[in-house]
Amino acid sequence: MHRSAQRRIIIPFLLPALLLLGVFFLYPLVRTVDISFTEWTRTGSYSYVGVENYTRVVDDPGYLNALKNAFLFTLVGGCMLFPVAIAIAWALNQRVHGERFFRFVVFAPVVLSAAVVALMWKFVYHPTLGLINPALEGLGLGALARTWLGDASTALPAVAFVTVWHGIGIWVVLLSAGFERLPPDVLEAGRIDGAGEWRLFRSVMLPMLRDLFRILVVLWIVQSMQAFAFVFIMTGGGPFGSTDIVGTLMYRVAFERSEFGYAAAMGVVLVVIMLIVAQIVNKVMKRDELQY
C-alpha cells in the first residue's frame, strides 16, 4: 500500500524547512516577549525588570511623538494613495490603447528596491540639485520652492508621497481586479438608464467596491504603521523629529543606545495598537451589506 510508504517521507520532507522556520522565526518570535521584560547593558548582559519597559513606553515623549507621526504618515499617505490608485485602476479598465504599457509603468517602481527609490527621491527633493524646485522656478512658481526634506512641515508628506509612488502598483492591481469583477449586467443596466460614466463610477461602482476598499484600507494601515526604509534613508527621523516614526525610533533605541529590551517593548506596543486600530476601522467601515 503506497499510503504507508508515503508516511515515511513526511518527517524528512518537512524537517529542513521547519528547522529554518524554528531557528530564524519562531524562536525569535517567542523570545521577543521575553526580551521586552529585560534591561540590557552595552556589554550584552541583561536582567529582568518586569513590566518597567512597558510603563516607560507609555509616557516616553519620543515614543508618543513617533506614534503620532506614524498615524499622520498613515493618514496622509492614505489620502494620497487611494484616490489616485482608484482613478488609475478605473482608467486601466477602460480598454484604452497602450494598456499593457501603462500597466508596466505603473507597476515598475514596485520591483525596485525601497533603498534605491528612497535615494533617488532624496535627490529629486534636493533644494538646488533636485528636480522639483528648479521645475517650480521654471514655471514661475518659485515661491512654492522649499527644502522639502529639511522643513518640518513638508518632510513627512514628502516621504509619504515617495512611499506611495513606490507601492501604488500593488494597490492598482488589487483595485483593478475589483473593477474587473463588477457584474457587467448591472453596469449595462445603468448605461441603458442613461447614466454617464462619472455617474456610473460614483453611484454604482464605488458602492459595489466598498468591501474591497475596507480590506485595502485595513491593509494600508497595517503596512504603513510599520514603515521604515523610506523614512530612515530620506530623513533619518528629522528634521526635529518631525518624521520620526516607531520603526526608526526602535532602530535607534536598539542599535545606537543598545536598549534591546526597551525597543522590543516599543515594537510589541505598536503591534497591539495597530491591531486595535485596524479592528476599529474594519468595524466602522463595515456598514450594512449592499444587496445586488
Partner 1 sequence: MSSSTEVRPAPAPGAAVAEPRRRGRGARRQGSDRAPFRRYHLIIYLLLGAVAFSTAGAFAWVFNVSMKTNTEFIGTRPWSVAEGWRWENYTDAWNSANVGSFFGNSVIVSVTATALGVVLAAFAAYPLARIPFRGSGLVLSVFLLGLMVPWMVTFIPLYVTMQDLGLLDSRLGLALVYATYNLPFNVFVLVGFMRTLPGELEEAAAVDGAGPTRTFLRIILPLMGPGVASVSIISFLQNWNEFFYALVLIHSPERMTLPLGLFQLGQAADYGTNWVTLFAGMMITVVPVLLVFALLQNQVTKGLTAGALKG
- For partner 1, the binding residue among 233, 235, 237, 244 (CB under 8 A) is 233
Residue 207: closest CA among 228, 229, 186: 186
Q: How far apart are alpha carbons 40 and 30 in whole angstroms?
A: 18
Q: How many CB atoms lie within 10 A of CB 25?
A: 10
- The residue within the footprint of partner 1, chosen from 68, 79, 83, 104 (CB under 8 A), is 104
Q: Residue 58: what residue type?
A: V
Check if the beta carbon of residue 49 is closer than 8 Å to that of residue 38: yes
Neighbours of 244 (CB within 10 A): 25
26: left (phi over 0), alpha (psi -120 to 50) or beta: alpha
Q: Enter the C-alpha cell of residue 164.
A: 506611495
Contact (Cβ atoms closer than 8 angstroms) between residue 264 and residue 52: no
Q: Is 106 in the site for partner 1 (CB under 8 A)?
A: yes
Q: Grid coordinates representing 140?
A: 514661475
Closer residue to partner 1, CB minimum distance, 51 or 287: 51
Residue indicated by cell numbers 509619504: 160
Q: Which of 82, 159, 167, 248 binds partner 1 (CB under 8 A)?
A: 167
Q: Does residue 5 touch partner 1 according to CB under 8 A?
A: yes
Member of 64, 75, 112, 141 binding partner 1 (CB under 8 A):
112
Backbone angles phi, psi at 50, to 5 degrees: 65, -140
DSSP 25: I
Q: Which of 134, 150, 157, 241 binds partner 1 (CB under 8 A)?
A: 134
Among 122, 209, 220, 221, binds partner 1 (CB under 8 A): 122
The nearer residue to partner 1, 72 or 84, going by C-beta atoms, is: 84
Would you count residue 237 as binding partner 1 (CB under 8 A)?
no
Nearer to partner 1, 34 or 287 (CB): 34
If one asks whether residue 76 binds partner 1 (CB under 8 A), the answer comes out as no
Residue 131 in contact with partner 1, rule: CB under 8 A: yes
228 binds partner 1, rule: CB under 8 A: yes
> Which is nearer to partner 1, 75 or 112 (by Cβ)?
112
Instruction: Name the minimum Å distance from CB 5 to partner 1.
Output: 5
Q: Is 254 in the site for partner 1 (CB under 8 A)?
A: yes
